[in-house]
Amino acid sequence: MISASDVSHAVTALLECDVRSSGTNTQQNDHTLGQEDISPFLDEEEDEERALVESFNVAYDALNPNGSTSLSFGGNFGGDHEDGDFSTIVNGGDSAGSGLGSGIRLAIAMQKAVISTAVSLVERKAINRLSHFRYAYLNATSNGANGSNQYSNESSKEKQMHIFAKPLALTRLAHFLMDMHRANEKWTGARALPLVLLAEKPQTQSYLIAGFEFPETQGSMVKNEFKQRFENAAISMDGHIKFDSFDSNIVEVKSELANRFIESLHYLIDSS
């Protein structure tokens, strides 16, 4: 029996999976075009937009009860590989086909990646604290889902992104980090600061940046002020920021401007 919650997690996982690098069987999905015929003619932004459309179609097709469920995983995925690097799976990995069952397996892989990445950030003391918020970099060039080296050569680094360089995945990681530190009472009182996460996207030489308010009580609603803060930071940086998400607290900044963005955000909050 598959619950509504299972379907939600599965479809969300499929939406954020790069079906082209997954080896998805294009013969089974009329919406999917041969990427080998397209990529050379697209710039990185257009290529990313096409990837989003293809992932949407795979997720949509998975809702069809008669749809294919032939997407299978090998390599680093499975019960015998709980400590493995799931980055290649969430980015596609060795898989083919599509289906709701595949989405569920992707969702499980993502949740394991969330936990292992959160633990790695804490153990490496990679979450930095400023006066008004905490922030952490998720660098694909040096760390995979569990803090291990993700890339074996320069070409693979250019093709893949950090597994959390997607809005929903980054949001899930942020919420887990906040829940974890709320439970251990390390982020309480004066230490209850907002959280900003920066996930690297090597293929576009940028960072996906998300800002989250920190509710001291789990489940409580807190107005997210990062929409205005990010907009002000963009103005101070002459607009070198991309707002391309349904969530106003998520922006994309070129890699060379990421540090400057964090500095601008800090000074703007400090002066407000």
pLDDT tens for each residue of 166-204: 898 999 999 999 999 999 999 988 889 999 999 999 888
Mean pLDDT for 7-28 is 64
pLDDT at 144 over 70: no
pLDDT grade for 18, boundaries at 50, 70 and 90: low
pLDDT at 146 over 60: no
pLDDT grade for 155, boundaries at 50, 70 and 90: very low
User: For 66-81, b where at least 16 C-beta lie within 10 A, e where not — what string?
Assistant: ebbeebebeebbeeee
pLDDT grade for 13, boundaries at 50, 70 and 90: confident
Sheet with 134-138, strands from edge to edge, namely 128-129, 134-138, 195-201, 206-212, 250-254, 241-242
Q: How many domains are there within the chain? A: 1
pLDDT grade for 40, boundaries at 50, 70 and 90: very low
pLDDT digits (tens, 9 = 90+) for 202-242: 888 899 999 999 987 777 788 888 988 998 888 888 767 88
pLDDT grade for 1, boundaries at 50, 70 and 90: low
The pTM for the full model equals: 0.73
pLDDT at 39 over 60: no
pLDDT at 23 over 50: no
Which domain CATH number covers 247? Answer: 3.10.310.20
Mean pLDDT for all residues in the chain: 74
Mean pLDDT for 20-29 is 41
Looking up tokens 């997407």 gives: 71
Residue 9, pLDDT score: 84
SS3 content of the chain, % helix, strand, coil (to 5): 45, 10, 45
Residue 141, pLDDT score: 57
Q: Structural domain of residue 154, as residue ranges?
A: 4-271
Least confident window among 1-15, 146-160, 186-200 = 146-160
**CB 196 within 8 Å of CB 232:** no
CA pair distance 82, 222, nearest whole angstrom? 35
CA pair distance 163, 90, nearest whole angstrom? 6
Rg for the chain, CA atoms, rounded: 19
Mean pLDDT for 242-268 is 88
Nearest alpha-carbon partner for 160 in 107, 105, 200: 200
The contacts of residue 37 (CB under 8 Å, 6+ apart) are none
Cα 159 to the chain's mean position, in Å? 16
pLDDT digits (tens, 9 = 90+) for 97-142: 447 888 888 889 889 999 999 999 999 999 999 999 999 999 975 4
CA pair distance 85, 162, nearest whole angstrom? 12
CA pair distance 45, 25, nearest whole angstrom? 24
